[in-house]
Amino acid sequence: MSLRTIALVAHVDHGKTTLVDAMLRATGTFSAHEAVIDRVLDSNDQERERGITILAKAASVTWGETRINLVDTPGHADFGGEVERALAMVDGVLLLVDAAEGPLPQTRYVLSKALAADLPAVVVLNKVDRQDARPEEVLDEIYELFLDLDAEDHHIDFEVVSTVAREGRAVSGVGLPGPDADLTPLFEAILETVPEPGGDPDALLQALVTNLDASDYLGRLAIGRVVEGTLRAGSVVSLCNADDAIKRKLTGLMGFEGIDRVDVSERSAGDLFVIAGFPEVEIGDTFSDPDTPKPLPGLSVDDPVLTMTFGVNTSPLAGTEGRYLTSRHLRERLEREVLGNVSIRLTETDSPDVIEVAGRGELQLGVLIETMRREGYELQVSRPEVVIREIDGKAHEPLERATVDVPDEHVGTVTQALAPRKGSVVDLRPGDIGRTILTLEAPARGLIGFRSTLLTATRGTAIMHQHHAGWTPWVGDLPTRKGGAMVSDRSGAATAYAMDNLQLRGELLVHPGDAVYEGMVVGEGSRTGDMDVNICRDKQKTNIRTHSHDDAIKLTPPRDLTLEGAIEWISDDELVEVTPSSLRVRKRALRSQDRRRARR
């Protein structure tokens, strides 16, 4: 049986995971009576809630006499490390492009990575059944994109397939698949374009580890691809890592079948493997011949652009909601994350209780924090800061390129919000009926918090995607939030009576009855500068009755901060306290005299 291994790459929401579902159904991976959820590979809770792919995953289908390994990749630039590792496992890519939206920033990013790896592409024009689909124009834009990226002639001569992935229909070339069509044209294009693996099954063993997983029964699992030779269950192999080579018998060897992992006796050159029994394995390691070990070059990924500090929760309410509270717990969890996520870096700080974490973007770091709080961790995190790089003796900061899809009436809103953030509009074109697509460039610092501002200004109708676009000279100071913090001056429970008076001075962040403590931020004032407030004040119990004293309390609903919203909103002298059931904003120094001393 011949073999093909292919990755699905695309911008966010262009249909990668949905197409994998259709390919699994078309090849009989699911039986007719089997109930299957949509986006079956998005198995992580946050993936299903957010509607995005976070982790690259693999599946396998059989078409005729050919077994095709499919690797589904994330579309968000924040998870670019997953894309780069996935491309190290494959011989070609399916480049999905929405037939209405056309190629967008992440399409350019994933295609540039595929071309750098010299991988042939099959272009899939998806969602050709949309009312606003414009497949011929989009195909021209894809050709322009290939030319912009200096693609070789053999890459530009690609196969084109038009699909309606949701319904599992495809047609070769540009067009609308008929009602009786299936995915045969897509599978034929894959067999024609993607070459068989080039490794020699009889050569000395070399197998590259590109991903890690964990099992409650088998411990750490190494996932990757056999580059040369053959892996055999029960044989002795050598694990080559940065330090030394470890020889051990290969007890557990698995391969992909459908969406499941099954025990296999061997995996030969070009195939994907899952290996158990090597707890020391890390991404980029090589399994090789025990007598003459030959390690492969390690994986390289783009550098992080944002840093945050993760610290032990030191608030007066610490330990009341979480299970993992100490610096040892925090450090072990972050070190475990780094083992499986090559695009995150850890750095020590002056305090043993605080670790600096660097990543690709707010979304990636937000997903990590959300995962940790769901696992029972309590921690406090700082506002993201950008990584500074010195180029030609001058300080440079990361530049971000963003695509914003907004209703026509909000185009002016976007440009007004962008101006103080030192950003500019570099492209503007019509999108769906009544909508416009803007391409922006701005310093990464300027786009921290821009997403939530944009959603508020456009009443939730804007769609924004961004990715790293190089480095730009330091642009100077940028505006921060307009109002100062309203800081509780004592511990207790927030009362409706106190909140009724305080809401005249700003917007509150807590509900009546919420526990508060000294130094906790309970609202945003209408003026600049912080102010200490007593949000626990009760109404005096006297026997005097006046009309003004007995006015009914009418509270405006407080602002409920999301995790990303809180991280974007805080200032440099504040932290977000994250627990499994609560999000609170606090000052770094809880006592007001300590804050005054620090300001002096």
Please give the pLDDT value at position 578: 93
Contact in structure between 516 and 488 (CB atoms under 8 Å): yes
In a domain, 456, yes or no: yes
The band of 522, judged by pLDDT with boundaries at 50, 70 and 90, is very high
**Residues 132 and 258 reside in one and the same domain:** no
Pairwise pLDDT comparison (409 vs 107), residue with the higher score: 409
pLDDT band at residue 469 under the 50/70/90 scheme:
confident
Q: In angstroms, rounded to a whole number, what is the distance separating the alpha carbons of residues 372 and 380?
A: 12
Q: What's the pLDDT score for residue 34?
A: 41
Give phi and psi for 221, each to the nearest 5: -115, 135
- What pLDDT score does 132 carry? 83
* 3-class secondary-structure state, position 372: helix
On whether both 353 and 406 belong to a single domain, the answer is no
Percent of the chain with pLDDT over 70: 88
Residue that finishes a domain, picked among 166, 193, 220? 193
Q: Give the model's pLDDT for residue 487.
A: 93
The residue segments making up the domain with residue 462 are 389-473
Q: Do 355 and 328 fall within a single domain?
A: yes
Residue 478, pLDDT score: 79
The domain that holds 514 is classified in CATH as 2.40.50.250
Give me the mean pLDDT over the 195-213 stretch: 83
Higher pLDDT pick, 60 / 143: 143
Instruction: Identify whether residues 377 and 439 lie together within a single domain.
Output: no
pLDDT > 90 in the chain, percent: 20
Q: Provide mean pLDDT across the span 444-460.
A: 79
With a cut of 80, say whether residue 70 has pLDDT above it. Answer: yes
Report pLDDT for 29: 59
pLDDT attached to residue 21? 80
pLDDT tens for each residue of 320-371: 998 999 999 999 999 888 776 667 889 999 999 999 999 877 777 888 898 8
Across residues 432-440, what is the average pLDDT?
81
CA distances from 216 to 257, 272, 277, 303, 336 (A): 21, 22, 13, 32, 15
Amino acid residing at 214: A
Dist. CA 330–CA 382, nearest whole Å: 15
Which residue, 168, 193, 218, sits at the end of a domain? 193
Tell me what the mean pLDDT of segment 478-498 comes to: 88
Residue 201 lies in a domain: no
- Domain with residue 335: its CATH number is 3.30.70.870
The closest alpha carbon to 23, from 11, 47, 41, belongs to 41
Based on the fold, state whether residues 150 and 275 are members of the same structural domain: no
Q: Looking at the structure, do residues 141 and 59 belong to the same domain, yes or no? A: yes
Q: Is residue 299 part of a domain?
A: no
Average pLDDT in the chain: 82
pLDDT at 35: 40
Residues 42 and 73 in one domain: yes
Same domain, 92 and 221: no
Q: Which one is predicted more confidently, 157 or 46?
A: 157
pLDDT in tens, 178-198: 888 888 988 899 999 888 887
Backbone angles phi, psi at 487, to 5 degrees: -110, 130
CATH number of the domain residue 11 falls in = 3.40.50.300
Tell me, yes or no, whether 580 lies in a domain.
no
Residue 496 in domain? yes
Last-in-domain residue among 144, 165, 193: 193
Model pLDDT, residue 311: 94
Task: Classify residue 426: in a domain, yes or no.
Answer: yes
Task: Give the global pTM.
Answer: 0.69
- Determine the pLDDT at residue 477: 81
Mean pLDDT of 470-474: 89
pLDDT at position 343, please?
73
Q: Kindly state whether residues 467 and 557 are assigned to the same domain.
A: no
Distance CA 474, CA 208 (A): 39
* 35-60 mean pLDDT: 46
Half-sphere exposure of 466 (CA within 13 A, CB side): 26
Q: Does residue 53 register a pLDDT over 60?
A: no
Instruction: Decide which of 524 and 2 is more confident.
Output: 524
Please name the residue that has the structure tokens 């080579």.
245
Q: Is there a single domain that holds both residue 261 and residue 310?
A: no
Per mean pLDDT, which range of 11-25, 64-78, 439-453, 568-582 is the poorest? Answer: 64-78
- Which residue in this structure is represented by tokens 């967008």? 104
| pLDDT interval class at 544 (50, 70, 90) | low
**Residue 43 within a domain:** yes
Check which CATH number belongs to the domain holding 234 and give it. Answer: 2.40.30.10
Predicted confidence (pLDDT) at residue 424 exceeds the cutoff of 80? yes
The residues that bridge with 62 in the sheet, in sequence order, are 67
Residues 67 and 94 in one domain: yes
Region 363-381 average pLDDT: 88
For residue 131, the model assigns a pLDDT of 86
Q: Poorest-confidence range of 56-70, 349-363, 382-396?
A: 56-70
pLDDT exceeds cutoff 90 at 516: yes
- Residue 21 sits at the vertex; the CA angle it makes with 41 and 129, to the nearest 5 degrees, is 130
* pLDDT tens profile 586-598: 999 999 888 888 8
Question: Total structural domains in the chain?
Answer: 5
**HSE, side-chain direction, 13 A CA sphere, residue 33:** 0
pLDDT of residue 222: 83
Given CA atoms 256, 258, 263, 268 in this order, what sign does their dihedral have?
negative
pLDDT reported for residue 49 = 46
Q: Are residues 68 and 130 in the same domain?
A: yes
CATH number at residue 469: 3.30.70.240
pLDDT tens digits, 262-298: 888 888 888 888 888 888 887 788 888 888 888 888 7
Which pLDDT score, from 0 to 100, does residue 214 have? 67
In this prediction, residue 534 carries a pLDDT of: 93
Highest mean pLDDT pick, 273-282, 519-528, 549-558: 519-528
Residue 62 placed within a domain: yes
CA atoms within 13 A on the CB side of 44: 17
Cα distances (angstroms) measured from residue 105 to each of 31, 427, 500: 38, 12, 47
